[in-house]
Amino acid sequence: MKTEKDLEKIVDGKPVSLYTIVNANGMSCDITNYGAKIIRLYAPDRNKKYEDVVLAFDTLEEVIEKEEYYGAVCGRFANRIKDGKFTIDGNEYTLAINNGTNALHGGVDGFNSRVWDVISASETKIVLGLLSPDGDEGYPGNLQVTLTYELTNDNALSIHYEATTDKPTVIGLTQHSYFNLKGAGNGTIKDHQLQINADFYTVLDESFALTGEVRPVEGTPFDFRKPVVIAERIDDEVYVPGWGMDNNWCIRKTQAGECALAGYIYEPVSGRKMEVFTTQPGMQIYTGNWIENQIGKEGKTYDRQDAICLETQGFPNSPNVPFFPSPVLRPGQKYDEWCIYKFSAE
């Protein structure tokens, strides 16, 4: 039996520990300050039976050495920046390339592999901090990030991202948990229903970076405005053929910055439902396409399409697309975004 001690260690000269937050209903979430990763998240089914619904590992060694994005906060810029380059105020910046020809999730050494400082921790909330120095993975400016996880009594896990900079930079943070509402390691997510409040989606090029083109979902396999069983769409040739979804949708909002319902997933056997609310303009749906025969928590096997990520985000490659919502953060401004995962059972 693995214990919390298996998730404690000194990494890069800093202590790493596991922190548990709990709400009044008994819902709980285990978080490590290594990568600000969610390790366990227990949600109730319609019979009030709790199950851990996120993929992860039992030991810190596995968390570090195996799948690097399970449960992590990704930054300084989540998703892909084409060719690892962008320009601000006439100054071109070159980033670390770590995904084909592109920069992905902040680079080779992103926020997902940093030891975050624990600013405070209480029964329901943990606040983490991280300083990303000027030039970090090629990004300009000293960026100070504050991240708050809180479990509320309406069974919502709220994630609050805040950041400031001393030099113009780009920023886009996301939470990269891999969900399975049947329970982590309990099979495929193809039987989950997916609904997305989006009238448009963004188009990918051959390198999986955004071209800048935005198309309507109407009449296409990208239309999830009404709930769809994932198995009915996941193998469509418009996605990664034979592999699944890894695409960004443009979330419908009445005004910029609104914390709107982006969509939900629902698992009919347990009755578990997870709604996603966000202030961010986009949401990436990724169906665990590259997971292959991994041994996860409690010795369970994780395989392809055994999880789904609902990553609220700024639009990928937005530093290079002027008409996308701007990811530029300047001195005196504050990056202030929310993602909320709200659980219920029907």
Dist. CA 287–CA 309, nearest whole Å: 6
Phi, psi of 159 (to 5 degrees): -125, 120
Place of tokens 């060719």: 83
Dist. CA 289–CA 26, nearest whole Å: 32
| Active-site hit among 62, 275, 311, 337 | 311
At 233, list the tokens: 């769409």
Cis peptide leading into 76, omega within 30 of 0? yes
In degrees, rounded to 5, the angle at the alpha carbon of residue 72 between the alpha carbons of residues 231 and 255 is: 75
Q: In this structure, how many other beta carbons lie within 10 angstroms of the beta carbon of residue 54?
A: 25
Active site residue 275: no
Active site residue 311: yes
The answer to whether 321 and 205 are in contact (CB under 8 A) is no
Burial of 202 per CB tally in 10 Å (0-12, 13-18, 19+)? buried
The answer to whether 202 and 250 are in contact (CB under 8 A) is yes
The answer to whether 322 and 22 are in contact (CB under 8 A) is no
DSSP H/E element including 63 = helix 60-65
Phi-psi region of 289 (alpha: psi -120 to 50; beta: other; left: phi over 0): alpha
Place of tokens 């000027």: 134
Dist. CA 36–CA 70, nearest whole Å: 10
Dist. CA 134–CA 323, nearest whole Å: 27
| Active-site hit among 176, 192, 267, 275 | 176
Q: Which of 130, 177, 153, 185 is nearest to 31 (CA)?
A: 177
Residues annotated as part of the active site: 176, 311
